[in-house]
Amino acid sequence: QEMVSEGAHPDIVTYKILLDGLCDKGELEMALNASKVNDAWDLLCSLPLRGVKPNVITHNIMIGGLCKKGSLSKADMLFRKMGEDGIAPDDCTYNILIRAHLRGGELTTSAELIEEMKSCGFSADASTVKMVMDMLSSRELDKSFLNMLS
């Protein structure tokens, strides 16, 4: 609000930083100093009204925040909505969702996401590979997941 009153309109980078902090802390009121936006989801949805087009980075932050809070169904919904809105997911998007679904024990969904990620030309990042290796060691997964990643 202070930025706007000073004539400096926030851009996507400003909102990305704000959204990132909100997803990590869940303290929107402190960040915005206003009651117009109640949570990170509302902030993401309000960006077009503020003249800012959300991009893949802002969506990845929100998806990561939803996954961290255990709202996988909302994260999956936002992931699918990205495509409808013309925002292509990137390798980061897929890796966030794959790790979240693996943590949740949703092996079929994880496998589907891995296949979709590979069909888009993306690959697993180091965090995803490490998670799969750890789950292989603890016998939560079988080698087919490691084979899928390679």
Q: What ranges do the domains of the chain cover?
A: 1-89, 90-150
Say if pTM beats, i.e. exceeds, 0.75. yes
Quote the tokens at residue 108.
Answer: 């079929």
Measure the CA angle with vertex 75, ends 72 and 79; round to 5°. Answer: 135
Helix (H, G, I), strand (E, B) or coil at 89: coil
Q: pLDDT, tens digit, for every residue of 59-104?
A: 998 898 888 888 899 899 999 999 888 999 999 999 999 999 999 9
> What is the spatial distance between Cα 150 and Cα 143, in angstroms, rounded to a whole number?
11
Tell me: the pLDDT tens digits for 54-68? 899 989 988 988 888
Residue with tokens 């999956």: 76
The neighbour count for residue 30, using CB atoms within 10 Å, is: 9
